[in-house]
């Protein structure tokens, strides 16, 4: 069946190369979405590898064009999957990890220690020791207690370690409070006054090499001006060779949602802001997470029931166990029937319904007031833009095994993370 162009509005949120055939059936990575659901089951995450690689290449090229000393680092908390790590390492991107588990995953996925940066506001002694022994490029120091632990660990091993110091610049971008991380009352980093004392201590250390400043003001950011305000705030702490501006570039989740700056606009603006405040030649690091991975992935579900209790409820076989973002942040997604992709234009067969998960929580609601084409039991539904914080936050609530991750490319599909089984739920029993 020949493919037709995806509705232009849907094309802004589905993976690159997504098509709809003449029957109205979705095709991702050259694969029929309905056939994918039949072969691999649902719920499941499907990653279009070409989208992932293309976006990674765009970030590397954009920052390289903006400055030869700029670096792109994957904020891996967005999608900590070995196969994703491997793709991004192959594309010349570094890796930001926030735990010993993420560090182990990054190493397993092929990142060289020299390309890895360790973050976290409550790093344990074991995590710091693991990072030192693995010889990661930098540890981002978050607090004075951590400096105590790090100095002791380095002395015990007769080692040295490069660090950045994380500063909370007192800047809050326009985003959800739960993902705003740079304001004056945050759990992350030193406030500017405390940072002065910490910088003096780090510079005096015999085993720690302070390379520069790190800040991260939040996620899902659509405006670039707050980065300038943050840079001006940290400029009062002195001049350094390295400035890690965190990440935070937002993505478009719905057809009517706000559109972020382009990758090229984002990269050039961040480098330009650093040069305006500190002059040229600085090492600039950026940590895109969701902007690298979110749009590469769709989640498929199967409808289990359709009923009306004041409003119409369409219940699927997943929910808050595979996508917590709607429950944590009131995040909004699109959802469609994969073999009746009518697009944003209304149809007389459309039904406005709440698409809910299967879990024992009234808040287990994936999409409120979704418009679905004649939904019925057995239909396969698709939610795009799920390549960030879906797999990462997946859980086994109500004993639900976690979904698989499947890479699709050129009409082929391969499992990179298998579906959990009921037996896996007991793997840690003793």
Cα 350 versus chain centre, distance: 32
Residues linked to residue 99 through DSSP beta bridges, in sequence order: none
Q: How many residues does the chain have?
A: 430
Contacts of 426 (CB under 8 A, 6+ apart): none
Nearest to 173 by CA among 227, 130, 137: 227
User: Is 290 known to sit in a ligand binding site?
Assistant: yes
Residue 81 known to be catalytic: no
Helix 144-157 with 192-204: angle, nearest 10 deg: 10
- Sign, CA dihedral 30-86-105-71, equals negative
389 is known to lie in a ligand binding site: yes
Q: Give the whole-angstrom CA distance, residue 12 versus residue 255.
A: 7
Which token pair is 142? 């978050």
Rounded Cα–Cα distance for residues 26 and 18 (Å)? 7
How far CA 288 is from CA of 115, 132, 218, in Å, comes to: 15, 24, 11
In which element (H, E) is residue 59 found?
helix 49-66
| Euclidean distance between CA atoms 408 and 31, whole angstroms | 7
Cα–Cα distance for residue pair 105/83, rounded to 1 Å:
10
Give the phi and the psi of residue 161 in degrees, each rounded to 5: -150, 135
Say if residue 288 carries a ligand binding annotation.
yes
Contact present, 81 and 56 (Cβ < 8 Å): no
User: Which residue from 140, 138, 188, 146 is spatially nearest to 168, judged by alpha carbons?
Assistant: 188
Helices marked H in 125-191 — which ranges? 125-134, 144-157
Per the residue annotation, which of 31, 81, 95, 360 is the catalytic one? 360
- C-alpha 150/C-alpha 102 separation (Å) is 19
**Which pair of structure tokens corresponds to residue 395?**
């859980």
248 known member of a binding site: yes
φ, ψ for residue 42, nearest 5 deg: -135, 160
CB 417 within 8 A of CB 44: no
Residue 203 is labelled as binding a ligand? no
* Cβ atoms 79, 391 nearer than 8 A: yes
CA dist., res. 424 & res. 421, Å (int): 5
414 is in an annotated binding site: no
**What whole-number distance in Å separates Cα of residue 37 and Cα of residue 300?**
7
* C-alpha 407, offset from chain centre: 17
Q: Is 173 annotated as a binding residue?
A: no
Annotated binding site: 248, 287-290, 325, 329, 361, 389
Annotated binding site for pyridoxal 5'-phosphate: 248, 287-290, 389
Enzyme catalytic residues = 360
């Amino acid at each position: 069946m020949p493919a037709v162009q995806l509705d232009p509005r849907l094309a802004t949120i589905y993976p690159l190369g997504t098509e709809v055939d003449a029957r109205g059936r979705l095709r991702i990575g050259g694969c029929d979405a309905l056939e994918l659901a039949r072969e691999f089951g649902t719920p499941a995450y499907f990653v279009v590898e070409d989208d992932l690689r293309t976006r990674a290449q765009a970030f590397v090229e954009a920052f390289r064009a903006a400055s030869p000393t700029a670096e792109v680092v994957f904020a891996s908390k967005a999608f900590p999957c070995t196969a994703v790590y491997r793709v991004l390492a192959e594309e010349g991107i570094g890796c930001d990890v926030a735990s010993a588990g993420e560090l182990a995953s990054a190493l397993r996925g092929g990142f060289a220690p020299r390309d890895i940066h360790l973050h976290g506001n409550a790093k344990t002694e074991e995590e710091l020791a693991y990072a030192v022994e693995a010889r990661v490029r930098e540890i981002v120091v978050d607090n004075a207690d951590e400096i105590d632990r790090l100095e002791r660990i380095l002395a015990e091993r007769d080692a040295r370690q490069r660090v950045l110091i994380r500063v909370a610049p007192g800047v809050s971008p326009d985003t959800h409070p739960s993902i705003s991380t740079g304001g004056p009352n945050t759990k992350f980093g030193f406030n500017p006054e405390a940072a002065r004392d910490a910088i003096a201590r780090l510079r005096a250390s015999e085993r720690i090499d302070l390379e520069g400043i790190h800040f991260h003001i939040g996620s899902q950011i659509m405006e670039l001006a707050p980065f300038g305000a943050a840079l001006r705030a940290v400029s009062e702490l002195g001049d350094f060779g390295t400035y890690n501006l965190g990440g935070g570039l937002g993505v478009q989740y719905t057809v009517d949602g706000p559109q972020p700056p382009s990758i090229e606009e984002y990269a050039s603006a961040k480098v330009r802001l650093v040069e305006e405040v500190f002059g040229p030649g600085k090492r600039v690091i950026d940590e895109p997470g969701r902007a690298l991975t979110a749009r590469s992935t769709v989640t498929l579900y199967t409808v289990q029931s359709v009923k009306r209790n004041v409003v119409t409820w369409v219940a699927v076989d997943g929910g808050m166990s595979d996508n917590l973002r709607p429950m944590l942040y009131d995040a909004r997604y699109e959802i469609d029937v994969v073999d009746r992709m009518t697009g944003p234009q209304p149809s007389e067969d459309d039904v406005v319904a709440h698409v809910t998960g299967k879990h024992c929580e009234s808040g287990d609601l994936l999409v409120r007031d979704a418009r679905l084409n004649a939904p019925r039991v057995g239909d396969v539904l698709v939610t795009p833009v799920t390549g960030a914080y879906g797999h990462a936050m997946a859980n086994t609530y109500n004993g639900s095994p976690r979904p698989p991750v499947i890479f699709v490319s050129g009409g082929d599909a391969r499992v990179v993370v298998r579906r959990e089984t009921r037996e896996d739920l007991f793997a840690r029993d003793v």
